């Protein structure tokens, strides 16, 4: 895994996507918005010595993508939920990011799809995640302590919600949970929503309120502990690794989640990368900061799975 700048300019891509999403003079329909969010996946370089296979799995609308590093332990896997505000993203948009992460961790990855809002209101995404988990531990024979959950942005919300649901159901828990720039505060109370409004090039002012309204759909409380884990009881939960960019408006989501989880006695790692954008991890292999974080999280995952 290398950390060099390629021909794509990361900040320019972020700014262009944001301008298209927020352009009121030429508003995009839902499919157009989804296409723009999917462009973030172009930022990661193609990891070497990693193969991919599609498979239709329970809880995944689109075929999930198996990520298989050549030298990985095939009995270990990170079940990864893509981000995209709960309304966008796909396994293909996150394939390369998870390829880098799984290769470093020495495990397989499974990038799954899940029900998206607004077509499928909450808790459909969490139920899909649980269905995929049950398939992994049942039909595929993975031991729960050999599975990690992961996700970015809204996918970090889903991954955390699935882990909390497993705890509520008194099921065996995963070995660890990874959250890249997690979106978890459905009340939009983080100070960074204001303080970083001028430095976040992907989520300008106003986007957070629109995203929450679409995600909750008027039927889920912003204090629902599965939608907003700041209201959840994390006692007895597996170790968590949380990272976010210092320039993003959701920085405080990561900071407050880490504080909340740590207070429950859970082993917690938190990294805030100065000047990092929302899910700066997308630029793994291209930007040094993204590469370093993904490598560090991969090493941490390897330790938790072994």
Among candidate residues 305, 306, 304, 298, the one with its CA nearest the CA of residue 1: 298
Q: Count of CB atoms within 10 A of residue 259's CB?
A: 13
- Asked if the model's pLDDT at residue 6 lies above 50, the reply is no
pLDDT-derived band at 1, boundaries 50, 70, 90: low
Contact 154, 183 (CB under 8 A): yes
**pLDDT for 4 beyond 70:** no
Domains, the chain, with CATH or none: 10-305 (3.40.50.1820)
Q: Tell me what pLDDT residue 305 has.
A: 99
Q: Read off the pLDDT of residues 22-40 as tens digits, 9 standing for 90 and up.
A: 888 999 999 999 999 999 9
For the chain, the average pLDDT equals 96
CA gap 242, 183 in Å, rounded: 11
Of the candidate ranges 23-32, 98-107, 128-137, 183-192, the one whose mean pLDDT is the lowest: 23-32
Residue with more model confidence, 202 or 159: 159
* pLDDT number for residue 126: 98
pTM score, whole prediction: 0.96
């Amino acid at each position: 895994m290398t950390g060099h700048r390629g021909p794509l300019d990361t900040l320019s891509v972020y700014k262009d996507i944001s301008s298209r999403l927020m352009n009121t003079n030429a508003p995009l329909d839902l499919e157009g918005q989804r296409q723009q969010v999917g462009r973030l996946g172009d930022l990661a370089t193609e990891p070497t010595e990693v193969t991919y296979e599609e498979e239709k799995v329970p809880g995944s609308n689109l075929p999930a993508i198996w990520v298989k590093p050549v030298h990985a332990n095939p009995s270990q896997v990170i079940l990864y939920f893509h981000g995209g505000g709960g309304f966008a993203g796909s396994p293909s948009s996150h394939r390369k990011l998870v390829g880098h992460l799984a290769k470093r961790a020495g495990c397989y990855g499974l990038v799954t799809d899940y029900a998206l809002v607004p077509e499928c209101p909450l808790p459909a995404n969490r139920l899909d995640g649980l269905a995929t988990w049950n398939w992994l531990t049942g039909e595929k024979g993975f031991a729960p302590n050999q599975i990690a959950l992961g996700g970015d942005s809204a996918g970090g919300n889903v991954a955390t919600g699935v882990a909390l649901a497993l705890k509520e159901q008194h099921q065996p828990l995963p070995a660890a949970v990874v959250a890249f720039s997690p979106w978890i505060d459905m009340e939009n109370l983080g100070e960074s929503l204001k303080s970083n409004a001028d430095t976040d090039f992907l989520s300008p002012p106003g986007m957070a309120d629109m995203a929450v309204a679409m995600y909750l759909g008027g039927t889920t409380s912003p204090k629902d502990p599965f939608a907003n884990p700041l209201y959840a009881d994390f006692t007895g939960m597996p170790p968590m690794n949380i990272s976010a960019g210092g320039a993003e408006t959701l920085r405080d989501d990561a900071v407050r989640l880490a504080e909340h989880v740590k207070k429950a006695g859970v082993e917690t790692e938190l990294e805030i990368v100065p000047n990092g954008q929302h899910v700066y991890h997308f630029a793994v292999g291209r930007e040094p900061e993204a590469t370093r974080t993904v490598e560090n999280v991969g090493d941490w995952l390897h330790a938790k799975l072994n």
